Amino acid sequence: MTKDFETFADGFSDDLMEQLKAIGCDASSVGVKTVHKLNETYEAITVSRAGANIGVSTNLTTIYNKYCAGEDYGLLVEQTAEHIRDGLEQAPKIDAASLSDYESVKSLLCVEVVSAERNEEMLKAVPHERMEDLAVVCRIQLDAQDGTEGTILMTNAMLEQYGVSAEELYRDALETAAITKPAQIRGMMEVLRDMAGPEEFGDAPPEELMFVASTKGQANGAGVIAYPDFMEQAAKRLGGDFYILPSSIHEVILVPDNGAMNAGELQEMVRSVNASEVQPEDQLSDHAYHYDSREHVFELAEKFEEKRQNREHPGREDADRNPDKGFDLEERAEWGKKTSLLAELKEKKAVIAEGKAEKSPHHAARSREEVI
C-alpha cells in the first residue's frame, strides 16, 4: 500500500461516512483491510452497522484506480455510498447462534471449485481438497434476499471452533450440496435457446456438440464436478469419456471424447475464451480436463493425452506438441464451431446480466456478495 493510496483511503473513508449519513444510512464504522478473494487480492473498504454481525465491503483498489484515471471524486463517493447502503439493506439474515453450532450449519453447506494456483494465499487458511490444479472449498449458504446470494467461506479457524475434521466437513458439504443444489447437465444449444428465445434458434432441437454442467441457480455451479457420482452421470449422458472445459467458476462445459479433438486444441479454446470473454474474478482455470469412464479417472487433459499417445505410439512425441498433425480441415471447422458456441454462451449471459443490472442498479455486485 503506497503513501498516496493510504492518504486517499483515509480521506475517502471519512467522506464516505459523511455521505452515508446524508442518505440516511446508519453505518457505525468504516475501515480498510486487505481482502484475499477468488483469483484476486485487494484493499477493501468495509462498512458495518452498530450491533450487526455482518457488514458490506467493496473494492477500494478499483475505486482508487478510477480516481487516478480521472473519474470525479465526489461521484465515486456517492456511488459507493449507494452501493454500501443497498448492500446493507439486502444483506442476508444471519442467526449467529445457529452458526455457532455445526449440526445446524451442516444443512447449509455447499462447495465451490477454484484455481489452486491463483488462490494459493487464500487456501493457506482454508480447508480444501485438490482435484488436479483445482481446489474444492466449502461455504455456508445464507438466506437469499431480493435474488442475492450470500455465503461464508469455511476457514481453518472456524473448523477448529466447530471441532470437526476437514474430511468430515468435506463429506458433509458434498452430501448436502448434492441435495440442495443438484447438478444439471443441459445441451449448449438448449441453454442458448433459453437465454435468447426460440426465435433465434428455432424449435427443432439441434445436434448438441457441447453440454453445460452447473446448478439451477448457477452461482459457483462449477462445484458440481466434485459431487459424488457426477462424473458417472455425465458419462452416461454423453455416452462415455469426455473432456471438461472450465468455462468459469459458475459452470463447466462437457465435450464428448469422440476422437475429433485433442487436449492441445481444447486447452487453446479455454485460454482464448478466458482472455476475451471471462472476467478475471470468474475464471476457473486455463486448462482442460478429461474423465475416463472405464478407469474412473479425472485428470488434466494433457496428462490423459500423453498417456494415450504413449499407449498407441510408444516413444512417439506427444501429439499436442504438433497440434496440426492428424487434424484435418473438417475437424478444425468443428473446433471453430465449438469455440464460437462457448463465446456465444458468455455473450448471452453478459447481456442477461446487464439487463438485470439495469433493473436493479447493484444487483450484479450483490449477487455473489461474501459476508464479512
**pLDDT tens column, 18-27:** 888 888 887 7
Residue 223: phi and psi, rounded to 5, are: -60, -15
In this predicted structure, the answer to whether residue 355 has a pLDDT above a threshold of 70 is no
Q: Domains of the chain: which residue ranges?
A: 3-91, 96-180, 183-359
Picking from 233, 237, 208, the residue whose alpha carbon sits closest to that of residue 296 is: 233
pLDDT at 365: 33
Task: Give dist(CA 78, CA 28) in Å, integer.
Answer: 18
Cβ atoms 219, 149 nearer than 8 A: yes
Indicate the range of 17-21, 108-112, 217-221 predicted with least confidence.
217-221
Cβ atoms 371, 150 nearer than 8 A: yes
Average pLDDT over residues 30-45: 79
Cβ atoms 148, 369 nearer than 8 A: yes
Residue 111: phi and psi, rounded to 5, are: -125, 160
* Cell numbers representing residue 281 in the block: 474474478
pLDDT digits (tens, 9 = 90+) for 91-109: 666 666 677 889 889 999 9
Residue 93: phi and psi, rounded to 5, are: -80, 135
pLDDT at 368: 42
Type of residue found at 250 = H
In this predicted structure, the answer to whether residue 270 has a pLDDT above a threshold of 70 is yes
pLDDT band at 187 (very low <50, low <70, confident <90, very high): confident
Query: What sign results for the dihedral spanned by CA atoms 130, 265, 186, 276?
Result: positive
pLDDT band at 143 (very low <50, low <70, confident <90, very high): low
Label residues 69-97 b or e (16+ Cβ within 10 Å = b). eeeeeeebbbbbbbbbbbbbebbbebeee
Residue with the three cell numbers 474423465:
291
Among 92-106, 125-139, 203-217, 269-283, the range of highest mean pLDDT: 125-139
